[in-house]
């Protein structure tokens, strides 16, 4: 077997992971190196000021979910005391209101997550794991089409006062940085080098904690106590059997993994294994399953449709207890030569538009989402982990096959991951074919589909869904399922081209 494979949403991210694998590091070392680089190469999606989840499979041990997602602060403020402002984000076909400012930031877990993984699994010093990021900073990161598109959509955030010097276009002042231009993170190298030496205390009890605390005096919420008391939570994954695979998924308080488990529970009781991909039977079953997952309000109907009642109870409990953060996300999947596997999903929301003083690090805006705070910025459960749709996933077969996968895409994440899993498991596709294949989605009585299926099959199915939208190509809307697989001594992977993905084997 070669030394492993890394799949990610940006070439620089996958390259960092692959370089560490090539030098003898394990999947966890590679994930750490990649997580630093993500903050430079994919800054609209990943930041030291955000958070995420890592599913860890340490060969021959039970997988563990590491929850380093954001936490609500311990204290609220009156609305007039918050630094918060709204803007309408234009996605072309739709508009969405976002709220930004330091008063929308939750307690970040990203840095604590990196160091917790290092303490548990790493074989390489942190001073070496940051090197790919330092090299990238020295050379400069050239903005690609995907990142330029995101910056343009989120212009009010990335041209805010503190962010403007970094993200304003040099070619066209007044616009966000464009494809082909280089981002200058001038003082990030010093921060990473100091962080590697001093450890996560720098961020949660030291100089950076003090800088974040200072923003709480000027309209922010996150203070020193919030940071000093933040902890990474180790959680037992949801485990479900599907066909010949044991699938391990992100558990409560997040909901994405539970929705995938619900979908698998229903399809497991169907004739999925006997279908061919793209037939009307296959497409109808997937859409019915996605629609059922989206509308689990009728206990009797859910039971009749074949959903696991325990999972339904778990999902409803989350919905009534936790605030959901369905935000911009990116993902990496890595398998090493010893068949350790890592699936990491991270998010910074859209970013709050405010940099931590003295750094190039933008804090998250997770509290500025109506799905998190339907009643406003002053009404959320204090000192509580936010829920998420993120679903880093590991699957193990009876024959020793291993899959690591996950996706970005907000509420489309569960549907995207579910379909890639059944493509791999039921239809025995290669990883590339499983990820490239067209997808379906269902949300709030509306069906969505990539119109690349057999015309007669999709038309037969979609006529039962009068509210539907067709996409004429594989589209970013349907997620970015970056996936890696080990089978019989070989690794393969594919970075979802819907979101600029890439796979590098070593």
Catalytic residues: 329
Contact 64, 235 (CB under 8 A): yes
DSSP state of 366: G
If phi > 0 it is left, if psi is from -120 to 50 it is alpha, else beta; for residue 349 that is left
Both tokens assigned to 51: 């958070």
Query: What is the C-alpha separation between 482 and 432, in angstroms, rounded?
Result: 10
Q: State the Cα–Cα distance between residues 358 and 417, nearest whole angstrom.
A: 39
Q: Alpha carbon of 376 to those of 26, 324, 366, 379: distances in Å?
A: 44, 14, 12, 6
Residues 6+ apart with CB under 8 A from 347: 45, 46, 50, 51, 52, 325, 327, 328, 329, 330, 364, 366, 388, 390
**Phi, psi values for residue 249, rounded to 5°:** -130, 160
Whether 347 contacts 363, CB under 8 Å: no
4 near 337, Cβ under 8 Å? yes
Integer Cα distance of 232 and 219 in angstroms? 26
Q: Where are the beta strands (DSSP E) in 257-392?
A: 329-336, 341-347
């Amino acid at each position: 077997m070669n030394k492993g494979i890394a799949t990610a949403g940006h070439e620089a991210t996958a390259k960092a992971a692959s370089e560490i694998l090539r030098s003898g590091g394990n999947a966890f070392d590679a994930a750490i190196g990649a997580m630093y680089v993500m903050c430079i190469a994919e800054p609209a999606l990943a930041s030291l000021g955000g958070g995420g989840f890592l599913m860890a499979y340490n060969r021959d041990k039970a997988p563990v979910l590491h929850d380093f997602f954001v936490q609500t602060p311990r204290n609220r403020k009156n609305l007039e005391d918050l630094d918060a402002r709204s803007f309408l984000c234009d996605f072309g076909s739709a508009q969405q209101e976002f709220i930004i400012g330091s008063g929308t930031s939750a307690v970040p877990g990203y840095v604590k997550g990196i160091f917790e993984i290092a303490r548990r699994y790493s074989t390489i010093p942190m001073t070496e794991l940051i090197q790919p990021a330092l090299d990238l900073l020295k050379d400069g990161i050239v903005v690609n089409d995907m990142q330029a598109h995101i910056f343009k959509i989120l212009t009010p955030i990335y041209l805010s006062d503190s962010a403007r010097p970094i993200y304003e276009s040099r070619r066209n002042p007044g616009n966000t940085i464009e494809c082909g231009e280089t981002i200058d993170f001038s003082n990030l190298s010093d921060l990473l080098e100091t962080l590697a030496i001093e450890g996560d205390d720098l961020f949660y009890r030291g100089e950076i904690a003090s800088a974040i605390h200072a923003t709480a005096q000027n309209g922010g919420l996150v203070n020193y106590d919030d940071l000093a008391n933040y902890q990474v939570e180790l959680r037992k994954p949801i485990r479900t059997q599907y066909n010949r695979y044991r699938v391990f998924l992100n558990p409560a308080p997040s909901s994405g993994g539970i929705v995938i488990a619900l979908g698998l529970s229903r399809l497991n009781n169907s004739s999925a294994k006997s279908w061919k991909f793209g037939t009307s039977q296959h497409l109808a079953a997937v859409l019915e399953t996605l629609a059922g997952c989206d509308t689990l309000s009728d206990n009797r109907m859910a039971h009749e449709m074949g959903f696991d009642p325990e999972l339904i109870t778990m999902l409803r409990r989350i919905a009534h207890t936790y605030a959901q953060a369905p935000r911009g996300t990116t993902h990496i999947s890595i398998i090493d030569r010893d068949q350790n596997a890592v699936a990491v999903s991270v998010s910074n929301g859209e970013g709050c538009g405010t940099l931590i003083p003295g750094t190039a690090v933008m804090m998250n805006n997770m509290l500025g989402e109506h799905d998190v705070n339907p009643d406003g910025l002053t009404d959320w459960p204090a000192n509580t982990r936010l829920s998420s749709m993120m679903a880093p996933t590991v699957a193990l077969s009876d024959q020793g096959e291993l899959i690591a996968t996950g996706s970005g895409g907000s509420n489309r994440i569960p549907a995207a991951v579910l379909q890639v899993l059944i493509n791999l498991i039921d239809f025995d596709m290669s990883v590339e074919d499983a990820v490239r294949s067209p997808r379906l989605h269902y949300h709030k009585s509306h069906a969505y589909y990539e119109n690349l299926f057999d015309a007669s099959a999709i038309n037969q199915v979609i006529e039962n869904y009068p509210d539907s939208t067709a996409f004429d190509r594989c589209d970013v809307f349907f997620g970015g399922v970056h996936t890696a697989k080990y089978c019989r001594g070989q690794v393969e992977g594919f970075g979802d081209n819907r979101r600029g993905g890439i796979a590098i084997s070593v």
